[in-house]
Amino acid sequence: MIVRHLFPFLLRCCIFSNICDIADAFFSVRYNGSSSSSQTKMFHRRPQPPVSPKIRAKRKQTRRAKTMSFSASAEDEAESENGPRANLLDLLSTCVDAAERGCAAIRRVQEERERRDRAGAPSALAVDYKIDGDPRSAVTAADVSSQAAIVDALTREWPRLTIVGEEDVVAREERSTLEGGEGCLRKDLCYKDDDAAASGVAGKEAALDRIAVFVDPLDGTREFVEGRLENVQILIGITVDGVAVGGAVGLPFPPRRAEEKDRCPASSSVVVYGLVGAGRLGVRGDEGSTAENAAPVRSEGTLLLAAGDTNDRVLADAYRAVSDASPGGCVRVLMGGTGTKILAVAEGRADVAVMNFKSSRWDTCAAEGLLRTVGGRLTDLLGEPLVHRPDIVPPATSYLNDLGAVASAAHAAQVHAGACEAMRRNPAALEKLVGVWGLTEEEAREADAEGVSRVMGQRRKIQTQGLPCVSTPLA
């Protein structure tokens, strides 16, 4: 009985004693001059076992290894931010090599076509059209084989290089069956025997993320289908920050002298190349300079205008503007293919060239690189430089050069400027700025100079947004 009453009493005493101990500990911490949180940590800290010198040394070594690992990661990250760089002369050489491979692919398709023709068999050249009824939109097996050869080789050599090709979708399907992984592309093909040109481009390089390569595997597909083989080209252009700085133009069937026209076709292809700073073009191939083989007869005092066959009213006005801007007038020389026209200017076989409104960046990039190498100039018909960027910036919806293009040699710079100035006052040309680019119909109809200047400034800002060094692409 006594035990039964005594046990609850003792239990209450123990509980009260524990509460008092806790309260004493709490108030001793609260009225100590230190932080309560830190004191609490110290209060509950368990005693640590002693650490031997061997274990202490091992922990120190581990901390040092972690520090070194962090430093290496930071260094790798900095290198990643700067990105790998490419020597532009090396890149150009690989483009020349790739162009030769593309030319070989086109020649194989043509040889098979001719063999079947001689045998009286149906033609094996299948032709598709991107746009129904438009012969300029033709795509053949030669286009696809050429792009597969070029893009696959460049991708293997420069895995992180941005490449924009006209037949990208189809070419990717062809890569698995690509003939001949022919090994590495060569980097010693350009300006080997020209010390002055080589010194002008020596050491020029840029970060790979600022470089893009535009590939037209067969410029002049319509001419290829129709058998006008001398107008067929391969175009591989190099840009830095959207500015064309070099390129390689492959000629699978190079032009020949008049006395050679009736003989067998050219025995090999020719590649013409250039890089800004070299001061002159280079040529690879057995046929010699294409400028010598296809130079037209000039009339003294007149300019040669490379033009296409078209019924477009605006292009007709552009031809007239070039003639009016030239003191001695001009003579039109009919040429097919955007690359053919611009290359003719770069090589001195024409003074000015006017391109239609259906050319794209892969049509103009390589040829502009060659043209700039020799001091020439390429703009749209309103006088604005073309921006060859690898992406499409709205409101643009494609890589199309929607305002056409005009090219000129260095000695025809004033004619170029005068023709573009005239086109800025041409209501029909200004209609191309209505709607998409924000020019009003009234401003176009009245050729409002202030409105045109405003819209062209906005258009330039849109096209160059995000490009860090447009004015100094090789800095």
Q: Is 219 annotated as a binding residue?
A: yes
Task: Give yes or no: residues 204 and 286 share one domain.
Answer: yes
Q: Give the side-chain half-sphere CA count within 13 A for 404.
A: 27
Burial 150-186 (b: 16+ CB within 10 A, else e): bbbbbeebbeebbbbbbbeebbeebeeebeeeeeebe
Percent pLDDT > 90 in the chain is 53
Residue 50 in domain:
no
pLDDT, mean of residues 157-181: 64
Q: Is 166 annotated as a binding residue?
A: yes
Task: Give yes or no: residues 106 and 150 share one domain.
Answer: yes
Highest mean pLDDT among 123-132, 188-197, 304-313, 413-422 belongs to 413-422
Q: Is 216 annotated as a binding residue?
A: yes
Residue 281 in domain:
yes
pLDDT, mean of residues 248-261: 77
pLDDT of 100 above 90: yes
Query: Where does a domain end: 294, 329, 357?
Result: 294
Residue 276 in domain:
yes
Banded model confidence at residue 155, pLDDT cuts 50, 70, 90: very high
Residue 13 in domain:
no
pLDDT in tens, 417-458: 999 999 999 999 999 999 889 999 999 999 999 999 999 999
CB atoms under 10 Å from CB of 202, counted, come to: 14
Report the chain's mean pLDDT, rounded to a whole number. Answer: 78
409: domain CATH number is 3.40.190.80
pLDDT, mean of residues 177-188: 67
Query: Where does a domain end: 239, 264, 294?
Result: 294
Listed range (29-33, 231-235, 328-332) with the worst mean pLDDT? 29-33
224: domain CATH number is 3.30.540.10
Task: Give yes or no: residues 337 and 288 share one domain.
Answer: no
Give the pLDDT score at 28. Answer: 44
Task: Give yes or no: residues 244 and 335 share one domain.
Answer: no
Give the pLDDT score at 140. Answer: 79
Task: Give yes or no: residues 143 and 201 share one domain.
Answer: yes
354, 431 contact by CB (below 8 A): no
Residue 278 in domain:
yes
Residue 416's domain spans which residues?
Answer: 296-466
Residue 300 in domain:
yes
Task: Give yes or no: residues 312 and 236 share one domain.
Answer: no
Number of domains in the chain: 2
Residue 240 in domain:
yes
Q: Is 193 annotated as a binding residue?
A: no
Query: Where does a domain end: 252, 277, 294?
Result: 294
Closest CA to 405 of 426, 428, 429, 427: 429
Banded model confidence at residue 357, pLDDT cuts 50, 70, 90: very high
Task: Give yes or no: residues 280 and 374 share one domain.
Answer: no
pLDDT in tens, 194-235: 888 888 888 899 999 999 999 999 998 888 888 888 889 999
Residue 40 in domain:
no
Task: Give yes or no: residues 407 and 459 share one domain.
Answer: yes
pLDDT in tens, 51-78: 555 455 544 444 433 333 333 333 333 3
- Cis ω for the linkage preceding 395 (within 30 of 0): yes
Task: Give yes or no: residues 196 and 226 share one domain.
Answer: yes
Task: Give yes or no: residues 287 and 301 share one domain.
Answer: no
Task: Give yes or no: residues 344 and 235 share one domain.
Answer: no
Q: Is 363 annotated as a binding residue?
A: yes
Task: Give yes or no: residues 190 and 339 share one domain.
Answer: no
Banded model confidence at residue 168, pLDDT cuts 50, 70, 90: low
